[in-house]
Amino acid sequence: MTLSSTTQTPAPKNDQAARDNGDIVILLYHRVCDLTFDPQLLAVSPARFSDQLDALKSQRLPMSLTSCCESLIAGNVPSSRFVITFDDGYADNLECAAPLLEAACVPATIFVTTEFTKQQREYWWDELERIILQTSDLPDTLSIEISGEQHTWEVRDSQSISTDSQKVAPYWNVLEDSPPCTRQALYCNLFTIMRKLKPSIRHDLVNQLREWASEADVIRKTHRPMTREQLQQLAKSDLLDIGAHTVSHQALSSLDRVEQHREIAQSKAFLEEVAGRQISQFSYPFGTRHDYGTETVEIVRDEGFHGACANFPGVVSNRSDVFQLPRILVRDWDGDTLLHRISEVTRVAT
């Protein structure tokens, strides 16, 4: 999972320099599926995804992330290329996205957060959404201790998610200016807190929230991470590649060096054991410049990765850092809207 950022990478002075310097756009996806409720805007519908692939191929040539990194290391970045990547490792990447990619002959890299594959439970942000925004009846007050600090929230619209105040729930998302109801406000507050917590504390908090809401520990069919067997199936593809996305999807800048190394190295080792081959690409969780640091980049390089993807808009050129590759975050847009977004980013970069 990632967050949007407006940080830009250094850019050439003019269009000719941009062409001489190379021009690859790396696109950041999370999910390809039809969702009725998607507050983080992670899903692109299969129909829209197919339209986006057609639009991309009308203007650019597809390229694998591995080839992108190889060309950058060689100082020979081509122009008018695009790369597809997915973060997190949802099952729909294999079930829905893969057939469309194969039909279009477009390669992709899927970055997997390994803890959720091993334990087969929903990603923590999905559990938070299910508990806070999807539970029919909640207690009127949430009072909970997080890392030694007491937090209390009043949930005024806690009863029945179908009441007038909650009718906006299916249409609300985190990019809106302000949450319309106390449930959405609680969700936003908890998300902000949880993304900075260490994995064990965050897992503990999810358990407490589940108990407070009297919610069962379930995995919705629509929100499953890939299984070990699905990863092995993915590893057999000649078109799709697997990358590492840490063990627990932690903002690595919030961890010390030993903890960062554990998150990075253990995810790589698990995926290599499952896939039966080297894992050479990495993606920083959340991915903004605040979510990793120079120490993180050093660890990724030392662990033998050949490249790493971040989450700030930009274009890959011969001047890019192979361990801080910019990506364009993709929403549920039609193909023309995606091309327009790419054009905007490219214009800023040149």
Residue pair 321/73 in contact by the 8 Å Cβ criterion: no
- Alpha helices for the chain (secondary structure H): 15-21, 46-59, 65-73, 92, 98-104, 114-119, 124-129, 182-194, 199-212, 228-235, 257-275, 294-302, 335-349
Burial class (CB in 10 A: 0-12, 13-18, 19+), 211: exposed
Residue pair 107/84 in contact by the 8 Å Cβ criterion: yes
Q: Is the residue at 219 inside a domain? A: no
Q: What is the pLDDT of residue 51?
A: 98
Kindly state whether residues 184 and 236 are assigned to the same domain: no
Q: Is the residue at 173 inside a domain? A: yes
Kindly state whether residues 157 and 111 are assigned to the same domain: no
Better-predicted residue by pLDDT, 53 or 174:
53
CATH number at residue 50: 3.20.20.370
Better-predicted residue by pLDDT, 244 or 11:
244
Q: The pTM is what? A: 0.91
Kindly state whether residues 85 and 187 are assigned to the same domain: no
89 Ramachandran zone, left/alpha/beta (phi>0; psi -120 to 50) = left
Token pair listed for 111: 């970055």
> What are the tens digits of pLDDT across the range 45-101?
999 999 999 999 999 999 999 999 999 999 999 999 999 999 999 999 999 999 999
Amino acid at 256: D
Q: What is the pLDDT of residue 21?
A: 81
Kindly state whether residues 335 and 241 are assigned to the same domain: yes
Kindly state whether residues 115 and 87 are assigned to the same domain: yes
> What are the tens digits of pLDDT across the range 123-140?
999 999 999 999 888 999
Domain final position from 212, 233, 253: 212
Domain final position from 212, 246, 261: 212
- The confidence band for 2, taking pLDDT boundaries of 50, 70 and 90, is low
Kindly state whether residues 55 and 199 are assigned to the same domain: no
Amino acid at 21: N
Q: Is the residue at 66 inside a domain? A: yes
Query: Residue 332 is inside which H or E element, if any?
Result: none
The parent domain of residue 191 ranges over 124-212
Kindly state whether residues 117 and 236 are assigned to the same domain: yes
Q: Is the residue at 114 inside a domain? A: yes
Kindly state whether residues 246 and 100 are assigned to the same domain: yes
> Domain count of the chain?
2
pLDDT at 12 over 60: no
> Rounded to the nearest 5 degrees, what angle is found at the Cα of 148, between the Cα atoms of 143 and 151?
25
Q: Is 238 helix (H, G, I), strand (E, B) or coil?
A: coil
Q: What is the pLDDT of residue 163?
A: 44
- The confidence band for 170, taking pLDDT boundaries of 50, 70 and 90, is low
Q: What is the pLDDT of residue 20?
A: 55
Above pLDDT 70, what percent of the chain? Answer: 90
Domain final position from 212, 236, 259: 212
pLDDT at 106 over 90: yes
Q: What is the pLDDT of residue 158?
A: 61
Q: Is the residue at 1 inside a domain? A: no
Kindly state whether residues 105 and 204 are assigned to the same domain: no
- Selection from 148-162, 170-184, 190-204, 309-323 with the highest mean pLDDT: 309-323
- The confidence band for 255, taking pLDDT boundaries of 50, 70 and 90, is very high
